[in-house]
């Protein structure tokens, strides 16, 4: 019998047991939605992270402190490291003395839960306040959409100026020009000199809900004497990055008066390292999706196995008649296998469509753009084929072994 005829017979059988076939297909579809949807959304999140960090640039690194203590080595060589804050004096000294061709900026987190007010409008208490210098915007990859950046004079004169994120500007000023307006950040008054271009919050930092004030002002009004400052360094080429890190590490050790045998009591983190760490953490989502899909597909396979066994029992006389007319056990077995595979593939197609829609909804929400996951689509089809063969083999083999005479007598 030709494959086309076997497929048509299988489709007739599926239509005859439509409700059961639909339920099984939907169970399979749920498993594929979980698998394809999560894997697609993970790809979207990875794309978004890479895009955001590429805007910052792969040619930058950050010098920061690390809270707590650590121990290295063993026996008598065991060494304890105290991670002390990077003080403002040390950060400015580094900026002045670092002669490598690069751009150096100093910044510190002043607040993560502030309210910004303008007249009767105010934001929610979730605005981040960061103290920055004149180079921070360029090194961190932010763009001033309206107004201007801080100047060296603004930093030195402790001017009460502020640059606000796009969400803050929209909430406070709507269609009004924000430049030159006076706002309250907490209880302190500042004049708006710039509005940052929208970046989105896909990495989770909520950069559009951020306001920046001169680091010198933040030092006086927000930060404690033992607050730790971070140093961003940007170089013009990736080839220069390792050399810049080497010189920066050496200079920072001298500034912090570390001995030659002491280990660094600060961290140097490359921007692409942060991206890779975030992406690496996404593997847990992939594992979760695989486990959920596996459990769902096992349930679907058991359901399909039961449906096929019931189908074999209900169609015993049909099988006997076909065998009496010359159908071989091989033909009977292929017919039931094809039927099981078709049910799985219908569920797989529905699951792939649902997975693509769900995954891209997440991807679009985090700014990752639309993704066609060809690899995951192929995986979904392959998994459904395997499930169909695994669930349909025993019922198909049972049908193929039925005795035609006994089958014709079956009531």
Hey, what are 91's tokens?
């950060």
Angle among Cα 166, 231, 128 to the nearest 5 degrees reads 30
> Do 279 and 42 form a contact (C-beta atoms < 8 A)?
no
E-assigned strands of 124-235?
127-132, 144-147, 161-164, 182-185, 188-196, 210-214, 230-234
pLDDT of residue 203: 47
The answer to whether residues 286 and 262 belong to one domain is no
The answer to whether residues 66 and 186 belong to one domain is yes
> Rounded to whole angstroms, how far apart are CA atoms 183 and 403?
89
> What's the whole-model pTM score?
0.58
The answer to whether residues 258 and 354 belong to one domain is no
Does any domain span residue 274? no
Q: State which H helix or E strand residue 404 sits in.
A: helix 404-409
pLDDT of residue 156: 93
Q: Could you tell me the pLDDT band of residue 198, with boundaries at 50, 70 and 90? A: confident
**Domain containing 126: what range?**
60-269
pLDDT of residue 158: 92
Closest CA to 299 of 33, 31, 9: 31
The answer to whether residues 210 and 307 belong to one domain is no
The answer to whether residues 329 and 215 belong to one domain is no
The answer to whether residues 197 and 133 belong to one domain is yes
Does any domain span residue 276? no
The answer to whether residues 32 and 86 belong to one domain is no
The answer to whether residues 258 and 314 belong to one domain is no
Assess whether pLDDT exceeds 70 at residue 200. Answer: no
Calculate the alpha carbon distances from 239 to 53, 172, 268, 303, 377 in Å.
18, 43, 17, 58, 38
Q: Could you tell me the pLDDT band of residue 227, with boundaries at 50, 70 and 90? A: confident
| End position of a domain, from candidates 225, 249, 269 | 269
Q: Could you tell me the pLDDT band of residue 91, with boundaries at 50, 70 and 90? A: very high
The answer to whether residues 265 and 290 belong to one domain is no
Structural domains of the chain, count: 2
> Do 64 and 230 form a contact (C-beta atoms < 8 A)?
yes
The answer to whether residues 258 and 343 belong to one domain is no
pLDDT of residue 254: 93
The answer to whether residues 109 and 164 belong to one domain is yes
Terminal C-alpha separation, the chain: 27
């Amino acid at each position: 019998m030709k494959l086309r005829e076997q497929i048509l017979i299988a489709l007739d059988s599926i239509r005859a047991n439509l409700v059961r076939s639909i339920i099984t297909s939907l169970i399979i579809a749920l498993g594929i939605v979980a698998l394809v949807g999560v894997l697609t959304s993970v790809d979207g999140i990875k794309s978004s992270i890479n895009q955001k960090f590429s805007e910052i640039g792969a040619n930058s690194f950050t010098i920061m402190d690390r809270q707590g203590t650590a121990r290295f080595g063993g026996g008598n060589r065991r060494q304890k490291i105290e991670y002390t804050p990077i003080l403002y004096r040390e950060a400015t000294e580094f900026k002045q003395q670092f002669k490598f061709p690069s751009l150096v900026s100093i910044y510190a987190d002043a607040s993560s839960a502030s309210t910004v007010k303008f007249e009767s409008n105010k934001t929610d208490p979730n605005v981040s306040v960061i103290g920055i210098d004149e180079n921070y915007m360029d090194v961190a990859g932010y763009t001033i959409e309206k107004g201007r950046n801080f100047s060296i004079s603004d930093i030195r004169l402790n001017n009460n100026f502020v640059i606000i994120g796009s969400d803050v500007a929209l909430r406070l000023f709507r269609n009004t020009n924000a430049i030159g307006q006076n706002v309250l950040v907490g209880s302190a008054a500042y004049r708006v000199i710039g509005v940052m271009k929208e970046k989105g919050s896909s990495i989770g930092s909520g950069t559009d809900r951020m306001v920046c004030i001169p680091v010198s002002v933040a030092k006086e009004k927000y930060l404690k004497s033992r607050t730790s400052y971070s140093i961003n360094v940007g170089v013009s080429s990736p080839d220069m990055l390792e050399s810049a890190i080497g010189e920066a590490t050496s200079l920072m050790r001298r500034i912090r008066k570390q001995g030659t045998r002491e280990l660094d009591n600060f961290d140097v983190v490359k921007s692409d390292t942060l991206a890779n760490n975030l992406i690496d953490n996404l593997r847990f989502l992939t594992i979760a999706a695989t486990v959920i899909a596996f459990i769902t597909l096992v349930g679907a396979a058991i359901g399909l196995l039961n449906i096929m066994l019931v189908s074999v029992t209900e169609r015993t006389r049909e099988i006997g008649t076909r065998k009496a007319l010359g159908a071989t056990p091989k033909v009977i077995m292929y017919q039931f296998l094809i039927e099981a595979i078709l049910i799985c593939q219908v569920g797989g197609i529905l699951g792939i469509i649902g997975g693509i829609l769900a995954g891209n909804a997440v991807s679009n929400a985090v700014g990752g753009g639309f993704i066609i996951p060809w690899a995951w689509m192929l995986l979904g089809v392959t998994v459904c084929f395997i499930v169909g063969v695994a669930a349909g083999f025993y019922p198909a083999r049972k049908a193929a072994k039925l005795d035609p005479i006994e089958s014709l007598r079956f009531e």
